[in-house]
Structure 1
């Protein structure tokens, strides 16, 4: 029996290939795809965000019913190639789900007529975007490696991973580059974001490789045969990252000095917030995360392991069943939820009072500025800063403000049955710790006003139930 998937969390390997190949400056992608299909990536509708620019180096074959139902796509592929042969860019033909369904495999045709054009079978029907990116990055190296032995360039570091459609890539990439440089390394390549196909073979000459994401990039890193590090989250992990970069690049003393300087400068806001009165709230904060593996594990590590907040759940969005996610959100209702648009919808369905913070796609969120990192030391500062700002905002929402249309309080005190008091206590305990007193007072006022409006002198459980 076919499995029903609720709220698909990832795009297909076809979009992964497009978002990977189009990031290379000297590549032009031919998408063997139906009319209009290419527009999704081109205008970034795929992830409901403008994180993806308009892709000028993407041309579709614009398959129609004729090609799909009878003639196949070979002829229209050849016509598209002919139009682009003079572009001066490396042409890569990518299959789509539609072309795969009709069995279009152009490998032989390209070898015979257009040997300079590469064909990438995206396996759009079988792999998600993380699997597709992992395979596409490794495939590019296989295609463009010059076959020569590596010649290590001391002190150089190459970063693998940032592609179009990755959440928060600009800010996190800027932080990783800052850490590498601070430790004494030189960023030689950012692949594929700031690279060309002609430069791919040079990756093997780096003294060290940094893989940005746990979701993909490991296959290529293994091919390169160089020491591999993963982009860090949290203070301790970042310190270790800086130290290892220093050792691999031959600059251990500079790395040690940089760590000390980071604690005096970049991390100083964390110490200020930790020593302030708001730090007493940290152990009471309950949070949940639904995001790609790098961010799910990273946020849990920073907020839970290092800052002592309560992590109710941390889920890899590529692996979870969204029906189970929905139930967990409804049942636990964390004070803070880091997630995607589906998770925000689940909160709205439950009328939960959780503070939603974007942490992944799909979602209508713009992350093009460099000042919102999750990774590295700067990421710790940003995460803590946003938590504290949200806590103060929560306090504001529970200030005893007298509204113009507020109903008058009952003229005489009302009684409460023990059952009603027990229900009130249970509701209040679920509210954020810092606002429980004001929240309880407001709920009690509403219940007594409702009872008084009905001429009752006692608040009973049915009154509280009618308040929702």
Structure 2
């Protein structure tokens, strides 16, 4: 019997191709796909997020039962191409799962009738979105490179990776640009996010390439044959990034001066938090991560290895077993969970007190502000600010507030507890996040005594607690 997958963690390579190609200014994507597919990606319903904006350069062939069952899709593809052809517009035809299932391969037809239109077989049924983006980026370079020898422009840096549908791209991209420019580099291209087709052939002329994400972009970075750096997370990685970039650009002096200024300005809140009473909490914080590879690795590196917090699990969402993830959340009760909307649903199902912080898609979230990075020095400050503010919020629960309660919501009098019940209560409380154990235990005790009172008991027993667990 095959494994049942609960909640898909990534979209398919079809969505990857659309999100990659549509980011190019002079490209119009034709999707050989059924009626209704436009609603999924064209108006950003796939992730319920504005990380996929309204795509004006995207048109589906709107396959119907007729094309899928009998005639094939060549005719509707030709009709769509005729309607969309225009000077200065490059058409790219992308296959979907449905067109692949009926064997629609338009390569030969396009060569004969429309040699200027490119066909990209998305392999929607065989690859996830990261594999699809990796292949799409390299395919674009192979299709549109001018085949000329590289002429390296000293001091230039090109960033590859940012495409539609990537979590927190605007903020993290802004931080990456800030670091590059701080060292004295000039950002030549952001591919494909801020590029057009004519920029593709120029990528090989960059002095240095920065690959923004671990999960895709390495195939293209490999064929460009230029020095490659990875976008950093945390203090050590960011300092190393600045130093290495300074060496590669022959700007060691500028890099050293920038790092000195960073410590005086951007990183100042970190020292203040570290020297303040908040730092006493850091070793007690237990957190979990389920996110794309870059964020799963980066959050663990920064929060655990540098801030001393306890990472109880960290999963790459591309291959995470979501049933196991839910079980781990239930058993380990992290104080903070960085994740996707599916993980927030698991917390709600378990009535968990864990604080959820969005760190990946899918998820209903807007991330267009440039002030919410996770990467680089600014990302460190943003993340610590979020965590410390959440800790303050938790402490609010300890304030002696006189809350109004409805009749019957509090036990009538003092209730006795058996020794076995007390032992079970202590074990249940230990599973809660450290800083919230007092309020968690108080609430559990109240609920147990109310249940005992409703059942006409004068003692809370181990059997009653097991009924609640």
Match of 1:440 in 2: 441
1:424 aligns with 2:409: no
Match of 2:117 in 1: 117
CA separation in 2, counterparts of 1:69 and 1:458?
69
Report the secondary structure of 1:24's partner residue: coil
Distance 1:296 1:408, change over 3 A: closer
Match of 2:160 in 1: 160
CA separation in 2, counterparts of 1:395 and 1:404?
20
- Are the equivalent residues in 1 in contact too, given 2:334–2:432 (CA < 8 A)? no
- Are the equivalent residues in 1 in contact too, given 2:286–2:312 (CA < 8 A)? yes
CA separation in 2, counterparts of 1:75 and 1:348?
49
Match of 1:328 in 2: 328
Report the secondary structure of 2:146's partner residue: coil
CA separation in 1, counterparts of 2:295 and 2:78?
42
Deviation by residue 1:330-360 (Cα, 9 ceiling, x = unmatched):
1112111111111111111211111111111
- Are the equivalent residues in 2 in contact too, given 1:107–1:119 (CA < 8 A)? yes
Match of 2:99 in 1: 99
- Are the equivalent residues in 2 in contact too, given 1:162–1:193 (CA < 8 A)? yes
1:69 aligns with 2:61: no
CA separation in 2, counterparts of 1:420 and 1:251?
67
Deviation by residue 1:430-452 (Cα, 9 ceiling, x = unmatched):
22222333443454455456656
Report the secondary structure of 1:15's partner residue: helix
Match of 1:55 in 2: 55
Distance 1:33 1:453, change over 3 A: closer
CA separation in 2, counterparts of 1:443 and 1:79?
66
Distance 1:81 1:453, change over 3 A: closer
Match of 1:316 in 2: 316
Report the secondary structure of 1:53's partner residue: coil
CA separation in 2, counterparts of 1:85 and 1:250?
46
1:39 Cα deviation after fit? 2.5
Report the secondary structure of 1:86's partner residue: coil
1:258 aligns with 2:264: no
Report the secondary structure of 1:172's partner residue: helix
Gaps of 5+ in 1: none
- Are the equivalent residues in 2 in contact too, given 1:399–1:438 (CA < 8 A)? no
1:384 aligns with 2:368: no
Deviation by residue 1:284-303 (Cα, 9 ceiling, x = unmatched):
11110011111111111111
Match of 1:281 in 2: 281
What is the root-mean-square deviation of aligned Cα atoms in Å? 1.9
CA separation in 2, counterparts of 1:349 and 1:448?
24
Report the secondary structure of 1:318's partner residue: coil
Deviation by residue 1:160-189 (Cα, 9 ceiling, x = unmatched):
000000111111100101000001110000
CA separation in 1, counterparts of 2:231 and 2:412?
62
Match of 1:11 in 2: 11
CA separation in 2, counterparts of 1:408 and 1:331?
28
Distance 1:397 1:99, change over 3 A: same
Report the secondary structure of 2:59's partner residue: strand
- Are the equivalent residues in 2 in contact too, given 1:43–1:50 (CA < 8 A)? no
1:399 Cα deviation after fit? 2.7
1:410 Cα deviation after fit? 6.8
- Are the equivalent residues in 2 in contact too, given 1:372–1:382 (CA < 8 A)? yes
1:404 Cα deviation after fit? 1.6
TM-score by length of 1: 0.96
- Are the equivalent residues in 1 in contact too, given 2:110–2:117 (CA < 8 A)? yes
Deviation by residue 1:22-67 (Cα, 9 ceiling, x = unmatched):
0000111111111121221111111122221110011111111111
* Equivalent runs, 1:367-406 vs 2, <5 Å: 367-405=367-405
Match of 1:227 in 2: 227
